[in-house]
């Protein structure tokens, strides 16, 4: 495979210091992989600094799962993009559907977070995706188009990655058909070109939602799929490494 790929793991609210052993194994495997495959892990905030030292001088990037839209201030319990960068993170995920649902994050909030993260020097992974009822009603493209227009930063496409994660595929073991992923990724590509101009053609578009060793090759083989955002299967090196290998 000749295309550039990013395989990113999202540990969500999982992982204690013990889990850093999994990261060491992932880091060793990443070193054996084709240079066109980038590997990234977003552990919980509590592990970012330690994770960054585990992967030091390896090819694995460490990132945050969210950040605040402001750099600092009276926001108890929140973490800013500059803090992530200061802890050794090089990227951050924004707009994950679990944040949109659990924390009421709107497209405008997601966009503000993305802009702040870019200013802090982080790469951003902007997540979009429709719910099952939106897909059943034939509104998947409308929803994803609206999320993209509202959530993407205005510029700096070279530091932006988009993750298409149908909400109904996250953590369920279900995935859309190859045809549906292909159609949605082509739609997202057209939106990225409309938004960023020519540089929108180079933005990686990850697929996320129940990616596992058994379906990774098929999903990653779709033309406009530039990698995967992996939840459950990123927690164990024995699941995540075959997904890296599939890329």
Residues marked as catalytic: 96, 165
Binds ligand PGA by CB under 6 A, chosen from 64, 176, 227, 231 = 231
208 binds ligand PGA (CB under 6 A): yes
Interatomic CA distance for residues 138 and 4, integer angstroms? 31
Minimum distance, C-beta of residue 109 to ligand PGA, in the bound complex (Å):
18
Identify the sign of the CA torsion 133, 232, 191, 109: positive
Nearer to ligand PGA, 230 or 244 (CB): 230
Nearer to ligand PGA, 119 or 172 (CB): 172
Binding mask 156-195 for ligand PGA (x = CB under 6 A): ---------x----xx------------------------
What distances in angstroms separate CA 79 from CA 7, 16, 46, 206, one per listed residue?
24, 19, 11, 25
Binds ligand PGA by CB under 6 A, chosen from 167, 211, 243, 246 = 211
Binds ligand PGA by CB under 6 A, chosen from 168, 210, 226, 241 = 210
229 binds ligand PGA (CB under 6 A): yes
Q: Are 26 and 240 in contact (CB under 8 A)?
A: yes
What distances in angstroms separate CA 128 from CA 27, 73, 82, 95, 138, one per listed residue?
28, 28, 24, 7, 16
């Amino acid at each position: 495979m000749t295309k550039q790929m990013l395989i990113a793991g999202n540990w969500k609210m999982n992982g204690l210091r013990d889990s850093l052993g999994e990261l060491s194994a992932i880091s060793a495997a990443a070193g054996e992989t084709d240079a066109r495959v980038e590997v990234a892990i977003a552990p919980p905030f509590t592990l970012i600094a330690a994770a960054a030292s585990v992967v030091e001088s390896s090819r694995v990037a460490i990132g945050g799962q969210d950040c605040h839209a402001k750099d600092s201030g009276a926001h108890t319990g929140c973490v800013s993009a500059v803090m992530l960068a200061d802890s050794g993170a090089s990227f951050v995920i924004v707009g994950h559907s679990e944040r949109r649902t659990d924390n009421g994050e709107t497209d405008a909030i997601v966009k503000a977070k993305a802009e702040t993260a870019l200013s802090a020097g982080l790469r951003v992974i902007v997540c979009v995706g429709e719910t099952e009822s939106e897909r059943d009603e034939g509104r998947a493209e409308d929803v994803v188009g609206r999320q993209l227009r509202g959530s993407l930063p205005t510029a700096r496409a070279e530091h932006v990655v988009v993750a298409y994660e149908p909400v109904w595929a996250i953590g369920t073991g279900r995935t859309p058909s190859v045809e549906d992923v292909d159609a949605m990724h082509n739609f997202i590509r057209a939106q990225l070109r409309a938004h960023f101009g020519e540089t929108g053609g180079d933005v990686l578009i990850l697929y996320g939602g129940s990616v596992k060793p058994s379906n990774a090759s098929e999903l990653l083989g779709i033309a406009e799929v530039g990698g995967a955002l992996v939840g459950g299967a990123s927690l164990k090196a024995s699941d995540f490494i075959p997904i890296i290998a599939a890329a």
